[in-house]
Amino acid sequence: MDLSNHSIASLGDLTAETLDLAWGEPGKTVLSGRTVSGLTNIWKYNLADKSLAQVTQGTGPDFSPMVDPSGKGIYFVNGKATGFLTAYNIRTKQTTDIASENATQPSISPDGRRVMYVTQPARDRNEVWTANIDGGNPVKIASGESLATTTWAPDSFHLAFVVSQNGAIDKPYTVGADGSDLHQIPWSGGTVFTVLWTRDQKTLYVTGFEKDSSVPNIWRANPDGSSQEKIGGDCGNIAEISPNGQYLIGAVWAGEKTGIYEFSIAGGKCIPLLPGVATFQSVFAPDGKSLLYAIPSEHEVTIYRVGWQDGKLTGSPQVAVKLPFAIPFSSGGNGYDFARDLSSVAFARRAGHADLYLLSQK
């Protein structure tokens, strides 16, 4: 699940993440990492004649350019990130690597047996995969410039993912875990965060941003995407439906509204449940009588359980599981997910090496 909001700047034929842009000559040229034929180098874009010129050579990847203030040249970073998606079995306390190639955005199926994730084999390419929770039976579902996971259907076989490209309207898809039954959901909004099935799989709820809006909204639609209806918004990233089908559970992970919320479908209102709790999402335990959420910290991860019934919390949060190691809150999207039966946790382990270079002016 991508957290970046697809922040993209496009200058003619030069397209790069906003944070990778820098002035060359102020008001005249712009420097950025640009990928051509799989190689990422620093390029210069001339604002006057809209021409492009390659600045660095080699296999790269080169990124994060910065002009030296004294005129000595251009600083840039050269390096490649690496990483694994790892599963930790909470009962046996054993770990298994599910995937490499900068794998992240894990989403574990409701039955805890499968995991969906995104890999980045190249700077300009993402792939969506599914595998067993132990890494067995990997299946490539899709590839593209920018992909994001969302959620699984209650049958633990169908899933949804999102395709984004150059700031255009997102394209959500549903598909089987074996790559079968691929369908694009017609979408006229902007950014899609989650695609969520009701328990009978007869209705979809989609959370996302309309174009030029900073407030997430909630839409209801048929499984084929027809009859889309906006029913509310500003209730965080919706990732769960209550057992009685009357509430949607969401989370805001940063900012003034940080916390866990529920959206009353009948009332059309967003109701605070746990204000101030910074978590990626909250889900129902298998019995449907409590909510589970994880709080990663610098040295450990704590998964809490709190009772829930008919739209209200019952009791105070209690520690359900404590993991004696740290996992990332985010890593190119969500950095972790856990099984609802608390049997396992999937998390990204990022690593890599980078060097800072100075390209001297001649």
Check residue 81 and give its pLDDT: 64
Whether residue 143 sits in one domain with residue 65: no
Q: Is 85 left (phi over 0), alpha (psi -120 to 50) or beta?
A: beta
305: nearest Cα among 294, 321, 295, 320: 320
Whether the per-residue pLDDT at 351 is higher than 80: the answer is: no
CB 139 within 8 A of CB 131: yes
Whether residue 70 sits in one domain with residue 93: no
Query: What are 189-203's pLDDT values in tens digits?
Result: 788 989 999 999 999
Residue with tokens 């739209």: 311
Mean pLDDT of the chain: 88
CA 138 to chain centre: 20
Which 8-state DSSP code applies to residue 145? S
Whether the per-residue pLDDT at 302 is higher than 90: the answer is: yes
Whether the per-residue pLDDT at 150 is higher than 80: the answer is: yes
Rounded Cα distance, 235 and 249, in Å = 9
Residue 310 in domain? yes
Whether residue 94 sits in one domain with residue 43: no
pLDDT band at residue 22 under the 50/70/90 scheme: confident
Q: Which of 7-16, 184-193, 290-299, 344-353 has the lowest mean pLDDT?
A: 7-16
The SS3 of residue 115 is strand
Check residue 169 and give its pLDDT: 81
Residue 177, domain CATH? 2.120.10.30
Residue 2 in domain? no
Check residue 10 and give its pLDDT: 40
Which value, to the nearest 10 degrees, does the dihedral of the CA atoms of residues 235, 239, 244, 245 take?
70
Whether the per-residue pLDDT at 128 is higher than 90: the answer is: yes
Whether residue 330 sits in one domain with residue 286: yes
Residue 314 in domain? yes
Residue 241: phi and psi, rounded to 5, are -115, 135
How many domains, the chain? Answer: 2
CA distances from 87 to 82, 111, 235, 361 (A): 17, 15, 30, 48
Enclosing domain of residue 43: 8-79+353-360
Q: How many CB atoms lie within 10 A of CB 358?
A: 12
The SS3 of residue 57 is coil
Residue 1 in domain? no
Residue 19: phi and psi, rounded to 5, are -70, -10
Whether residue 288 sits in one domain with residue 306: yes
* Preceding peptide of 272 cis, ω within 30°: no
Whether residue 293 sits in one domain with residue 242: yes
Check residue 20 and give its pLDDT: 67
- Looking at per-residue pLDDT, the higher value among 70 and 344 belongs to 344
Whether the per-residue pLDDT at 14 is higher than 60: the answer is: no
Check residue 94 and give its pLDDT: 94
